[in-house]
Amino acid sequence: MTKHLTAGASETVITAIKDRPEVYAELYARALVLADGEKQLAIVTADYGQFTLQYNKVLLEAIQCTTGIPPEHVVINCSHTHNAPGVDGREMSEESEAWLATCLAGLVKDAVDALEPATLRSGRAPVQIGYNRRIMNDEGYITMAPNPEGSVVPWVDVLGTYDENGEIIAVLFSHAAHPVIVHWSSEEMGADYPGYAVEHLRNFLELKPESVLLFAQGCAADINGYPLRGGFKACDVAGFALAFATHQALKTAEEVPVAPLKAHSELVNLPFRDPPSVAECEQLIKEFPDDERYVALLEVAKSGEKRTLPFPISAFAVGDALCFLSVSHELFSEYQLFADETSPFSHTFVFGYTNGSEVYIATKAAYDLGLRAGYEAGPRNHALSGPYRLALVPSIEEQIRAEITDLFGKVKNS
């Protein structure tokens, strides 16, 4: 019988790398570790665009080597800020990747070393700082523009962890919206609205010096923070709104009963659509002779190989009251809404961009539009984003929904 839970948190700057770029705000990584005496679960958040599946595996192995926590008990969530490495051609050097792996491993070790008896409180408050970004034009094609009637996730989920004196160890808050309010309005690196939200939240709360505030990104593939490329002042406004809602959620949060920690993970394979024919690929090469990606696509067509996308998915739970569902890649917001409606737990967080992110995962309705499906779901875009990044088959929505439902059942009954 679990008598008490413990929690520990830590944070570190992750812009201190070789050839340091110009920044408008530091990038941070933060960790929250929960333990019940037998099991430790680690949630790591990073102000980065995204990590590939392969590199995320390197990070998990580094954390395990340093802390002993197995990879299936660690999730690494990227905020997906577009003013950081991992998006728009901003890549890390091999030296920087090695440095960051050591850094995150030390970060989690610091959180483990800080474990202390804790009370958990979970809540939710309404907030919307973005809009669905997919809207159909008069010609029947999906374009990127605010769609007031499109799907969004209009709330923030909040977990407060408190020490025996009632002081805050950490606050984890999660919302779904692309951090693109600063995007391209400045070349400098920074965390976008999640960073502003953390700073405003610090002003709302009474914190001890070692308290940690963590932002985790939800399923935001089709949601842009508003206004897109609005600049620093607009980003500050969005951050304030999110911080205020987080503060409100903490005021009404419910205590999570002490219970054993549970975890379950799966590695699912999602099928891609078949590539264009060899003749079609050869024609694309003639039209775009300098684009090596079409050459790679031709090799895929010639091989006849059926390609699949690795799709890691996991769930952490505190008894039957609280669950953290983590999915990899960039999922449309409909998946988060489905998970929230389906979950058998009293409080459910849904994290996207977790443990690797490489492609968009759209819905059947979007994929069924074919060439009219727009940036996130159109087959030509996906062919351009990598050597095998074709659109996924429309049936993957049903497959993912079934996997989410099954995972909830497994972790609840474990």
Residue 18 has a pLDDT of: 58
Q: What is the mean pLDDT of residues 278-306?
A: 81
Average pLDDT over residues 362-381: 86
- Here the tokens at position 113 are 């070393």
Cα 402 from chain centre? 20
| Average pLDDT along the chain | 93
Q: Tell me, what's the pLDDT at 388?
A: 44
Do 327 and 220 meet the contact criterion of CB atoms below 8 Å apart? no
pLDDT one-digit tens code per residue, 315-332: 999 999 999 999 999 999
Q: What is the DSSP string of 66-96?
A: HH---GGGEEEEE---SSSTTSTT----HHH
Do the beta carbons of residue 180 and residue 230 sit within 8 Å? Answer: no
Tell me the C-alpha distance between 125 and 273, whole Å. 39
pLDDT for 185 equals 86
**pLDDT tens per residue across span 99-127:** 999 999 999 999 999 999 999 999 999 99
Of 53-57, 242-246, 291-295, the one with minimum mean pLDDT is 291-295
Residue 386 pLDDT exceeds 60: no
pLDDT at 354 over 60: yes
Model pLDDT, residue 1 = 57
For position 307, what pLDDT does the model report? 83
pLDDT at residue 261 in the model: 98
Taking the model in full, what pTM does it have? Answer: 0.94
Q: Which residues have C-beta within 8 Å of that of residue 56, sequence separation ≥ 6?
A: 76, 355, 356
Task: Flag whether pLDDT at 384 surpasses 50.
Answer: no
53: closest CA among 286, 329, 266? 329
Opening angle at CA 74, ends 308 and 38, nearest 5: 130
In the predicted structure, residue 379 carries a pLDDT above the cut 90: no
**By the 8 A CB rule, do 224 and 146 touch?**
yes
The one-letter amino acid code at 330 reads: E
**Confidence label for 387 from pLDDT (cuts 50, 70 and 90):** very low
Residue type, 105: A
Rounded Cα distance, 57 and 159, in Å = 27
SS3 34: strand
Name which of 61-70, 289-298, 313-322, 327-336 the model is least confident about: 289-298
Residue 282 is predicted with a pLDDT of 86
Q: Residue 396 pLDDT > 60, yes or no?
A: yes
pLDDT for 277? 83
- DSSP class of residue 304 equals T
Q: How confident is the model at residue 414 (pLDDT cuts 50, 70, 90)?
A: confident
